[in-house]
């Protein structure tokens, strides 16, 4: 597996992967792929970076992240559907930690509370719960 930093040319790919991520985690985000591409471009202009993981020159996963006050914040991580359950995710996170995250920095992320598969994955690769966040949505009073 290879890791490379994404460029603006990768925005269409990242937007499509992001759309699939939203579907898979059942996130309440109605954005289209086109809207996600505009948002991704804005993140690139701000302080976010992304890496694309490839196997045999085929993109199989990506990670979107930024430097945060307390370490590296991993906003999005996605493994293409057809490449899941094959060790790609575990290998990608290992490679990400080795090549992107400085050894003296923590790595944090958020997972939707109903995403049991995601929670199980993050635990399996060594993460532990740090905080629980709560919110009230307008539609739920």
Over residues 25-64, the pLDDT tens digits come to: 787 777 889 999 999 999 998 999 999 999 999 999 999 9
Pairing of the two strands 106-109 and 71-79? parallel
The residue ranges of every structural domain in the chain are 2-135
**pLDDT tens digits, one per residue of 3-21:** 999 999 999 999 999 898 8
Please report which confidence band the pLDDT of residue 24 belongs to, taking 50, 70 and 90 as the band edges. confident
d(Cα 107, Cα 3) in Å, to the nearest integer?
Answer: 18
Dihedral, 40, 90, 103, 123 alpha carbons, nearest 10:
100
Higher local confidence (pLDDT), 140 or 63: 63
Closest CA to 95 of 52, 43, 65: 52
pLDDT given for residue 82 in this prediction? 87
pLDDT given for residue 115 in this prediction? 83
Please report which confidence band the pLDDT of residue 67 belongs to, taking 50, 70 and 90 as the band edges. very high
Flag whether pLDDT at 65 surpasses 90.
yes
Flag whether pLDDT at 139 surpasses 80.
no
Q: Which fold has domain 2-135?
A: Aminopeptidase (3.40.630)
**pLDDT tens digits, one per residue of 92-131:** 999 999 999 988 999 999 988 888 888 999 899 999 988 8
pTM over 0.85: yes
Angle between helices 11-24 and 33-45 (to 10 degrees): 120
């Amino acid at each position: 597996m290879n890791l490379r930093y994404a460029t603006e040319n990768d925005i269409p790919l990242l937007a499509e992967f992001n759309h699939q991520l939203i579907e898979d985690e059942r996130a309440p985000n109605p954005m289209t792929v086109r809207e996600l591409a505009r948002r991704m471009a804005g993140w690139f202009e701000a302080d976010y970076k992304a890496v694309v993981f490839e196997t045999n020159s085929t993109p199989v996963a990506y990670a979107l992240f930024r430097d945060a006050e307390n370490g590296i914040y991993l906003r999005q991580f996605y493994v293409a559907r057809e490449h899941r359950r094959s060790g790609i995710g575990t290998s990608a996170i290992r490679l990400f930690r080795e090549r992107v995250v400085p050894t003296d920095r923590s790595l944090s992320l958020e997972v939707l509370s109903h995403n049991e598969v995601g929670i199980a994955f993050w635990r399996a690769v060594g993460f532990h719960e740090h905080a629980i966040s709560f919110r009230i949505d307008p539609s739920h009073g």
